[in-house]
Structure 1
Amino acid sequence: MKKNILITGTSSGVGLAASILLAKNNYKVYATMRNLKKSTVLKEAIAKDNLDIEILELDVTKYDTIEHAVNMIVEKDGKIDVLLNNAGAGFAKTLEQTSLDQIDWITDVNYKGVVITTKAVLPIMRKMNSGHIINITSIGGLVGQPFNELYCGAKFAVEGFTEALATYVAKPFNINFSLIEPGGIATEFMNNAITKTVDEKGEMVTGEYAPIFTKYLEGAKSRAGSGTASPYQTPEEIAAIILDTINAKNPPLRVRTSEWAENMTALKVKADPDGTKLVNQVIDYFL
C-alpha cells in the first residue's frame, strides 16, 4: 500500500507544490485547505497528470474540521503515514499597533493549528508504531526579527513544541519529527504579510515606528530581488527538501533550506545544526 500524507494549507505556495511533488513520487496525498473555492489550481494539476490527490476541507483553527478530515482518511486507508503541518500566515507589524484579535489570529494559525492537528493525528501514528510529523517553521522560529515579534513568537513556539515531542515520543513509538526552516518563500506569503501592516483605508500605519518600518520594508523588497543572495526560495525548492526529508533514512529534527538560512541562524545552531544532539542530551537528562 502507498504511504499517505496529510498536508494542511494546500491552496497555494509550499502546500500546493508539495502536494503535486509528493503525488508524483508515489504518495497518496490528502491535500487540505480552509476554503475549497481556492482549489482550482490543484484540481487542474490533478487532472493534467492524473495525480493521486484527494482534496479535503480543513481549517487549522477549527478542531472539528481537523477531526473530520483525519477520520475520513483513517476510514479509507486505516492509517496516516506523514503529517505535513504547512498552513501558516505572515505578519509584520509593531506589537503596539496590533489588535487583540490579530494576536489571537496569528497565534492560532501559526502555532495552535499545528498543536491541534498534531493532537488529532498522533494517536493514529502511535498505534501504528510509525509515522513522521513535519512542521514548516522558518528561520523566524530561531531568530527574532524586527516587526515580526508575533510571527516569530508563534514559530519559536512550534520549534519548542516539536523539540519537546521528539524527546519522549520519537524513539518509543517510532515517530519521526522534523522542522523545515526556510529563510523566506517567494509566494503571496510576503505580500499577505505586508497587507497586514496597513489600516482599513489601505494606508500604511504611521507613528513613531514609521521611519523604522519603512526602512524594514525597503530592505525586504531589496532582498527579494537580489538574485542568489536573496533569502527567498520558490515553493518547488522547499517542496523538494520536504520530499528529501520524508525519504531520509534518519530524518533530522531541523532542516534549513538554503545557504542564506544557514548563515542567518549560524550563531544559534552551529553547535548542533540538525538538533539531534540536544534532543539526545535532554533524553539522557530527563528519561
Structure 2
Amino acid sequence: MSKIILITGTSTGLGISIAVQAAQAGHTVYATMRNLEKRSALDAAAATADVSLHVLPLDVSDSASVNKAVDDIIAREGRIDVLVNNAGAGFVRTAEQATEAEIQWVMDVNFTGVARCIKAVMPHMRQARSGHIVTVSSVGGLVGQPFNEFYCAAKFAVEGMMEAMASYITPSFGINFTLVEPGGIATEFVANVMSHVAGTGGILDDEYKPVLEAYIGGSQSRGNQTRGGQSSYQTADEVAEVVLSTIQSDHPPLRTRTSEWSETLCHLKTALDPDGLKLSAQVTKQFLG
C-alpha cells in the first residue's frame, strides 16, 4: 500500500537516500529541508533514480515552518501516514568547553525539533487512528560516548520521549513509534561535526586535547576498517534500507539498530529486549492496566 511520507533533513546524506528509496518503493514522498537553495543534491539523486519527489521547506527549529509544511501536505493529500524525523546535527565538545548557546542549539536541532514535528502530525494521525513516527536516533541514544555528552543527551531525550509515547498512544490510537539507531554514517554528517569544531575555536590546547585527539583518531580508524573488522560506518543507502523496511513493516519495532557494529556496542543494554516491544508492553500494563 502506498503511503504519504514526510521526511525532514533531505538536503544531504541519509535524508536523500530515505526519500529516494521510499519513492522507488511506490510511496508519495514529501522531502523537506530548511533551505530549498540546497536541494540540488536531492534533485540529482531523484533524477538518477527516475523518481518524483515533492520538495517543501521545513525548518525543524521553527514551529511556524513545521506547521505550515504539515498543513500543506494535509491540504493536498488529506493525511500523513509516516513522519520520518531525520534532521539532526552532531556536536563534539566537553561540558566545560561548550557554551550555553551551543548546548541550546544541539538540543533544539536533535530533540526539540523532533518534538515540534511530532506535535504537528499527531492530531491528524490520532484522528485517522493510524500512523507511524520514525525517528533517526543513534547508538548515542543508548550509549554515552566520549565528547558527545550533549549530543547523547539530546538523543537520550528523543528515545525517552518516543518510548513514553509508545506506551499509551500505540495501544490507544494505533500509531506506531520506531527509533532507528545507526552507528556512524559515511556522509557529510561527520564532516559537518568537525567543521563546527573548527569554526568554533578548533581543538583547544588544554588538558582534554590528547584525549580528544585519541577519540578522533579512533573514529577515523573505525571508519577505515573493512566489513570483516566491523566498521562502525555504514553508507547512507544501507541505513535507509533499514528505515524503509521499518516503514513497510506491519509490526514495526520500537527500536532497531542498523548494523552488526551497532548491535555489538549496545548489546548490554538491548540483549533482553532487542526491539523494545517487551518493555513497552510491560510499562503499558503496569501503568494503564
TM-score (norm 1): 0.97
Q: Give the length in aligned residue pairs.
A: 286
CA deviation after TM superposition for structure 1 residue 124, in Å: 0.4
Deviation track 1:146-189 (CA, whole Å, cap 9, x = no partner) reads 00000000000000000000001012111111000001111111
Deviation track 1:253-273 (CA, whole Å, cap 9, x = no partner) reads 010000000000001011111
Aligned partner of 2:286 in structure 1 is 285
Asked whether the 8 Å contact 2:10–2:19 carries over to 1, the reply is yes
Asked whether the 8 Å contact 1:18–1:242 carries over to 2, the reply is yes
Aligned partner of 2:274 in structure 1 is 273
Q: Does 1:211 align with 2:210?
A: yes
CA deviation after TM superposition for structure 1 residue 49, in Å: 4.3
**Structure 2 vs 1, CA of residues 163 and 99 (structure 1 numbering), >3 Å: closer, same or farther?**
same
229-238 vs 48-57, which moves further:
48-57
AA at the equivalent of 1:117: C
Asked whether the 8 Å contact 1:93–1:196 carries over to 2, the reply is no
SS of residue in 1 equivalent to 2:198: coil
CA deviation after TM superposition for structure 1 residue 143, in Å: 0.2
Equivalents in 2 of 1:47, 1:28: separation in Å?
Answer: 16
AA at the equivalent of 1:286: F
Equivalents in 2 of 1:10, 1:48: separation in Å?
Answer: 16
AA at the equivalent of 1:46: A
Aligned partner of 1:45 in structure 2 is 45
SS of residue in 2 equivalent to 1:171: helix
AA at the equivalent of 1:55: V
Aligned partner of 2:144 in structure 1 is 144
Equivalents in 2 of 1:90, 1:159: separation in Å?
Answer: 16
Equivalents in 2 of 1:49, 1:234: separation in Å?
Answer: 17
- The 5-angstrom pairing of residues 189-200 of structure 1 reads 189-198=189-198, 200=200
Q: Does 1:224 align with 2:223?
A: yes
Asked whether the 8 Å contact 1:199–1:205 carries over to 2, the reply is no
CA deviation after TM superposition for structure 1 residue 51, in Å: 2.0
Q: Does 1:107 align with 2:87?
A: no
Deviation track 1:196-224 (CA, whole Å, cap 9, x = no partner) reads 223546x4222111111111111011111
**Structure 2 vs 1, CA of residues 270 and 51 (structure 1 numbering), >3 Å: closer, same or farther?**
same
Q: Which residues of structure 2 form unaligned runs of 5+? A: none
Equivalents in 2 of 1:198, 1:37: separation in Å?
Answer: 24
Equivalents in 2 of 1:28, 1:269: separation in Å?
Answer: 34
Asked whether the 8 Å contact 1:27–1:52 carries over to 2, the reply is no
Equivalents in 2 of 1:200, 1:104: separation in Å?
Answer: 15
CA deviation after TM superposition for structure 1 residue 2, in Å: 3.4
Asked whether the 8 Å contact 1:93–1:147 carries over to 2, the reply is yes
Equivalents in 2 of 1:61, 1:199: separation in Å?
Answer: 21
Aligned partner of 2:17 in structure 1 is 17
Aligned partner of 2:240 in structure 1 is 239
AA at the equivalent of 1:232: Y
TM-score (norm 2): 0.96
Equivalents in 2 of 1:30, 1:100: separation in Å?
Answer: 34
41-50 vs 166-175, which moves further:
41-50
Equivalents in 1 of 2:231, 2:245: separation in Å?
Answer: 23
Asked whether the 8 Å contact 2:5–2:27 carries over to 1, the reply is yes
Asked whether the 8 Å contact 2:20–2:49 carries over to 1, the reply is no
Deviation track 1:87-128 (CA, whole Å, cap 9, x = no partner) reads 000111111111111111100000000001000001100001
CA deviation after TM superposition for structure 1 residue 48, in Å: 4.2
Asked whether the 8 Å contact 2:89–2:193 carries over to 1, the reply is yes
- The 5-angstrom pairing of residues 87-98 of structure 1 reads 87-98=87-98
